[in-house]
Chains A and B, each alone.
Chain A
Amino acid sequence: MRKRHNVEADVAIIGGGTAGLNSAMAAAEAGCSVLVVDKANIVRSGAIAGGIDHFFAYMDTGEPWDTREAYLGWAGRVARGAADLEVQEAVYCDELKAALERVERIGVSLRQPDGKVFRTAALGQPGPYAINFDGKLLKPKMAMEVKRRKCKVVNRVQVTKLYLHDGHFAGLTGFNIRNGDFYRIRAKAIVIATGNTNRMFNAQVGNPFNLWYCPANTGDLHRAAFDAGVALANMEYVRMTIVPKGFSAPGFNAFFGMGAQLVNSLGEPFVQNYHEMGNKAPRNWVVWGALQELKAGRGPIYMDCRHLKAKELEHLFFTLGIDKDTLPEFFRARGYAKDGAMIEMTVSEPMQARPSELCGSGIRIDKTCASNVPGIFAAGDASDQMGCLHMATAGGFAAGKHAAAYAKKRVSLLPLDSKAAEEEEDRVFRPLGRKAGISYREFETIVRAVCTDHFGPVKTEVSLKAALDKLGRLDAARGDLRADNMHELMRTHEAMNIHAVSKISATAALERRESRFIPYHYRADYPQTDDANYCGLVVIQEQPDGGITTRLDKLRYAA
């Protein structure tokens, strides 16, 4: 028998990943009662469940590249048109020092065993910003800290809907993915920190869960927030990286940071042909180069590590195993030896996510991490301005602080519309009652086929309209989705969210009649970057009348 729970808090955090746990710490520190809701268990949920190895930071060591100004200069160069530097200053720069201290205080050293800070450069950085560290236990330690600060945690609850009252945030509902308990949660403010959207495009060996990013992040709250009138930005970008052939795992930054290079099947290093910084270029350019080489028939491509010294190789392979726990044995199983390694690589699946390490893709936030709906804040990969560990940690905390400040100004909780919650409860469990129908697997496969065919990643006006037409026709199948147990019910809702986000992404992509961060937004019909008209954010929003509008928020940068 399913139970019903009513829970209240000053601040609710949806998604207890990297960003959400930092938000929780901040809101608790500000004296608020805090509730963290996650569809997994916060000890090991989300992107860094298995570990993480790089933290981007400037450290004011006296080097010209090691300053706030130089960092912002980098952001302005490599994330032009997507990073709002005023927001970056507030959510990252102003919070960075405290963020680094916090990571170490909760028990994760940012130093090497010899006590030194070791930093490497890649991704177009003007200097080595990436602190290499052993973050295997960062997630469990953050979860412990959140519990130590007396935040309430509700694990295994998938949030499906947000509720407003007179235009202000009032509450949310979700269900327990194991026993079906239904949660009605009222809070004065909310921080959405549910990551990006995965499983939207075909994956390299066919399995949609063999992904670079966490397959449990399926844009659930992008969709729910969008339905509640929250504006989203940077949604047109599809992000990809370079991964080992056969295993979509991270490693890009570790490989290139340590000086490995990509070569084609002729043995030629090729990235220089596409960007002057070669293997140290921003990620999108390396991906673009790899795609061109593969298309030209000069594949397979390899990560050439043969020139690295024994000590460098030792560090590199150790680091790779921190970021992806199972990668070392995958390499062994494929027969790669550490020394003399030439590892076959490929381009990963695309995903809905930020076009650069220096911004996000999702809920449009201002300098206080606030969305356009009062009471709704966002952080981490789910926001349009944060991405990666450095921003999820620093900016997550900023979001928690601002949400707490907002909550403190509200006298009481707002009512949660009972009728709407009952309707949502019916909607959520309906697939369980169907005797026949389509499975989430089949439904998702169709969504992935359409997205991959029409904007994965290259797109044109015609392809995007074709995608929207096909994805629109699939609306009718949503009512046929059938789940045979609670696990399938969770996946069924994920599948519907992936479908909804894919439509938002294609709609936003139609509006950007230029190319930017190629291949992440490569319009074959507008292949050039057009700064005069498109240097800014495509903001997409559902209006109260149900219509969907887009606008361009222009961004300015120093020359």
Chain B
Amino acid sequence: MPAVIDAKKCNGCKLCDLYCPLDVIHMEGKLAVVRYPEECWHCGACRQECARGAISFTFPWAMLAA
């Protein structure tokens, strides 16, 4: 999982959904969800926009162990 959204911190402001340049994050009800994790570019735009600090990044094994 690249961008990871902490559902407990997300307040549903939609900014990450709005600004993700790859259309990877979609609102599902009141929560932002990383719907296409494999298409994340790891640009960090969502995290920079998130006022709640709800977004962090984890790197898949392929990136860490290659």
What residues of chain A have their CB less than 8 Å away from a CB belonging to chain B? 40-41, 43-46, 49-51, 136, 156, 177-178, 204-207, 209-211, 214-216, 245-247, 249, 324-326, 329-330, 333-334, 487, 490
Contacts and interface: CB of A to CB of B under 8 A. Distances in A.
A485 B2 CA distance: 22
A39 B3 CA distance: 21
B66 A204 contact: yes
A136 B49 CA distance: 11
A246 B66 contact: yes
A205 B62 contact: yes
26 contacts: A40-B20, A40-B22, A41-B19, A44-B19, A44-B43, A46-B21, A49-B19, A49-B21, A49-B41, A50-B44, A204-B66, A207-B60, A209-B40, A210-B42, A214-B21, A215-B41, A216-B23, A216-B41, A246-B62, A325-B43, A325-B44, A325-B47, A326-B57, A487-B35, A487-B36, A490-B23
Contacts of A216: 21-23, 41
B50 to A, nearest CB: 12
Given A216-B23, A246-B64, A330-B59, 12 more contacts: A40-B19, A40-B21, A41-B19, A44-B19, A44-B20, A44-B45, A49-B45, A177-B23, A209-B22, A209-B38, A326-B57, A329-B57
Interface in B1-55: 18-23, 35-36, 38-45, 47-49
A326 B20 CA distance: 15
Contact of A333 (B21, B23, B36, B59): B59
Contacts of A177: 23
Interface of B: 18-23, 35-36, 38-45, 47-49, 57, 59-60, 62-66
A329 B3 CA distance: 12
A215 B19 contact: no
Contacts, number: 95
A178 B24 CA distance: 12
B22 to A, nearest CB: 6
A181 B49 CA distance: 27
B39 A209 contact: yes
**Which of A177, A245, A325 is packed against the most chain B CB atoms within 10 Å?**
A325
Given A324-B42, A329-B57, A330-B59, A40 B23 contact: yes
Nearest to A321: B44
B22 A136 contact: no
A205 B66 contact: yes
A210 B63 contact: yes
B21 A334 contact: no
A326 B41 CA distance: 10
A245 B66 contact: yes
Nearest to B36: A487
B48 A325 contact: yes
List 4 A-B pairs, minimum CB-CB distance, nearest first: A325-B44, A50-B43, A44-B19, A44-B45
Contacts of A487: 23, 35-36
Contacts of A333: 59, 64
A246 B60 CA distance: 10
A192 B58 CA distance: 35
Contact of A326 (B23, B35, B36, B44): B44
B64 to A, nearest CB: 6
B62 A247 contact: no
A216 B20 CA distance: 11
A245 B63 CA distance: 8
Given A41-B18, A487-B36, A206 B62 contact: yes
Contact of B42 (A40, A205, A326, A334): A326
A26 to B, nearest CB: 23
A318 to B, nearest CB: 15
Nearest to B57: A326
A44 B23 contact: no
Contacts of A40: 19-23
Contacts of A326: 42-44, 47, 57
B43 A246 contact: no
For B42, B47, B62, the residue with the greatest tally of chain A CB atoms inside 10 Å of its CB is B42
Given A44-B21, A45-B21, A334 B48 contact: no
Contacts of A249: 42
Contacts of B63: 205, 210, 246-247, 330
Contacts of B20: 40, 44
A380 to B, nearest CB: 15
Nearest to A344: B66
B62 A44 contact: no
A215 B43 CA distance: 11
B43 A49 contact: yes
B49 A44 contact: yes
Contacts of B38: 207, 209
Contacts of A245: 66
A329 B59 CA distance: 9
Nearest to B44: A325
Nearest to B2: A326
Contacts of A247: 42, 59, 63
A333 B57 CA distance: 10
Contacts of A490: 23
Contacts of B64: 246, 333-334
B25 to A, nearest CB: 11
B49 to A, nearest CB: 7
A511 B57 CA distance: 45
